[in-house]
Every structure is written in C-alpha cells, then in structure tokens.
Amino acid sequence: MKSIFDKVSNDCSKLVIKRYSTSFYFSSSLLSKTIRQDIFNIYGFVRLADEIVDTFHEYPKKELLEDFEKELWRSVDNKISLNPILNSFQHTVNKYSIPKDLINSFLDSMKMDLEKKEYNSVEEYIKYIYGSADVVGLMCLKVFVKGSESSFAELSPFAISLGSAFQKVNFLRDLKDDSNVLNRVYFPNVDMNNFNEKSKKEIILEIEKDFENAVKGIVKLPKNSKFAVYIAYRYYNKLLKKLKRTSSENIVKKRIRIHNLQKFIVIARSYVKYQLNLIQWI
C-alpha cells in the first residue's frame, strides 16, 4: 500500500532535519502536530538540494541537480516519487498548492551556487537571498496559514524579512568556510582580505532592520506556528548579538556558535514571554 511508502518518506524527511540541524529540528518540533510533518518535508527537499551544490564535490553536481529537478516536477505531476524526500515534498506542495514559482526561484539560487563565486551587485545578492531563503519561508508560510490566500498575502512581506535575516546571519557566521572551502563571497563589495569593523557594522545594521520588520509578522502568525517561529527568531537574534560582539578579525577566522546551555536559556526565556503574551514587546 502506498500509505506505508508515504510513512517511510515522511520518516526520511524527519530524519534529514534531525541529523542536519538539531536547532531547526527542535524549533520545528514545537509546531502544531497538524503541520509539523509538512515543514519537515519542505526542509528535507531544501536540504537535499543544498547538499548537492555544497558538499558533493567529487560527483557531477550539475547533472545531479538537473536530475533532481526533473524528478521533482514529475513527482508533483504524478503525486509520487521513488525518491522518499521528493515523495514527501510533493505531497506538501500539492496539499497546500505551493506556487511553482517559489520552487523555481529556490532551484535558480542552487544553480547559482554551482558556478557563481562572488556577488558584486546588490541586485544579484537580493536575488540569491530571495531564492535560497525567502521562498523557503514563504513555502512554510503557505503551510502555517493552511493555504489561505489572504493570510499568505498579508504575512508574506514579514516572512521574506525573516528569511533574509536568517540567511544573512548564516552568511556572516559562515564567512570563513564559505570563503575558504566553497570559494564564495555572498556579501556584495566585501573584500575578504580586508574585512573590517565598518563592513561588519553595515551588514549587522542590515540584518537588524530585517528582524525589526519580521517581528511584526511573528505576532500575527496562527497559533499553530507562532511559538516555533518565535524560538527560531530568538535563536538567530542571539547569534547575531554574539557576532556583533565578535571582532571582524575573529569572524573571518572561526565559525561563531551558540552553545547548548545558551540555547536552553533562550528557549526558557522565550517560553515565559510567550506565555505572558509579551512577544509584541521583543
């Protein structure tokens, strides 16, 4: 029976998020059970595509991504794939009518990662972030609002701001590895040989502006997702503050992390604020 295969597919997507991101797995586990699996399914798809372009260096990455994309669209049309990750993802896509242009924008950014190493203009930078992060937030938003077009339209600008903030924090945190391992520099007009406090401050101000707008949307999210998204926001905001305290010299030398004890404190404090309905004052 296909129901057994669908269960196996869902379990695979859940395992992907659990193995690749303990922080995201934890925050996703705080989502309502009615939508949790669908977020796992989205993450599994995104993670698999990202792995192709970021880690499969000894394999034909371009060919793998092309095959992955072809099988994706076949699965959406046929409502089945023998690839368990794509099988679970197509279910979510069809269930919530996730727009194909969001998926295409994501795949376009993955293709950019295959060849593009530097983003010399703000336009290129914005386009990449939209495809690699903003649309993922929009796909999740489709699930949060259970396909409601009006709610999706109202909350989309905030979801885009949150996705952009998360991605820019990742870029800043991973500056060393992106540059030295993947030979990529995402921030436009940033000289890795002369990354200084001025450059760092400009990037952080940009991220803080994104977060400021994103918070306005978090308070409007449905109950099924508000607390989980709030936790993710708090974690990334904590990471940003740590990056802000770290010298530009050290940022290019090591990857900045939030230790488990700090994560626990963030979660505990967030829970109290959420229960006291103080999110609007963060």
Which tens digits make up the pLDDT trace of 134-146?
A: 999 999 999 999 9
Same domain, 201 and 270: yes
Same domain, 51 and 182: no
Same domain, 84 and 168: no
99-128, pLDDT tens digit by residue? 999 999 999 999 999 988 888 889 999 999
Same domain, 41 and 121: no
Same domain, 223 and 267: yes
Alpha helix positions (H), 116-225:
122-129, 135-144, 149-173, 175-180, 197-218
Q: Which residues span the domain enclosing 47?
A: 1-96
Contact call for residues 275 and 243 (beta carbons, < 8 A): no
Q: Which amino acid is at 226?
A: K
Q: Of 130, 282, 135, 122, which is closest to residue 203 (Cα–Cα)?
A: 122
Same domain, 208 and 264: yes
Same domain, 213 and 247: yes
Q: What are the residues whose beta carbons fall under 8 Å from the beta carbon of 33, sequence distance 6 or more? A: none
What are the beta bridge partners of residue 185?
A: 118
Q: Which of 19-33, 72-86, 139-153, 249-263 has the lowest mean pLDDT?
A: 249-263
Percentage, residues of the chain above pLDDT 90: 69
Average pLDDT over residues 40-55: 96
Residue 139 has what pLDDT?
Answer: 98
Q: How far from the centroid of its chain's Cα atoms is residue 242's Cα? A: 20
User: Rounded CA gap, 199 and 201, in Å?
Assistant: 6
Of the pLDDT bands very low, low, confident and very high (cuts 50, 70, 90), residue 282 is very low
Does 150 have pLDDT greater than 90? Answer: yes
Same domain, 104 and 87: no
Residue 117 has what pLDDT?
Answer: 83
Does 260 have pLDDT greater than 70? Answer: no
Average pLDDT over residues 92-100: 97
Same domain, 26 and 105: no
Q: What are the residues whose beta carbons fall under 8 Å from the beta carbon of 52, sequence distance 6 or more? A: 61, 64, 65, 68, 110
Average pLDDT over residues 240-265: 78
Does 175 have pLDDT greater than 90? Answer: no
Last residue of a domain, one of 44, 76, 96: 96
Q: Record the tokens describing residue 267, joined without a space.
A: 């979660």
**Greatest mean pLDDT among 137-146, 190-199, 254-263:** 137-146
Residue 281 has what pLDDT?
Answer: 41
199-218, pLDDT tens digit by residue? 999 999 999 999 999 999 99
CATH number at residue 161: 1.10.600.10
Count of domains forming the chain? 2
Last residue of a domain, one of 96, 118, 147: 96
User: What SS3 state is found at 42?
Assistant: helix
Same domain, 152 and 260: yes
How far is the CA of 163 from the CAs of 1, 107, 140, 211, 262, in angstroms?
38, 16, 11, 9, 23
The model carries a pTM of 0.91
Same domain, 196 and 258: yes
Same domain, 252 and 179: yes
Q: Interior CA angle at 152 toward 146 and 156, to 5°?
A: 135
Average pLDDT over residues 221-234: 92
Last residue of a domain, one of 46, 68, 96: 96
Average pLDDT over residues 10-35: 90
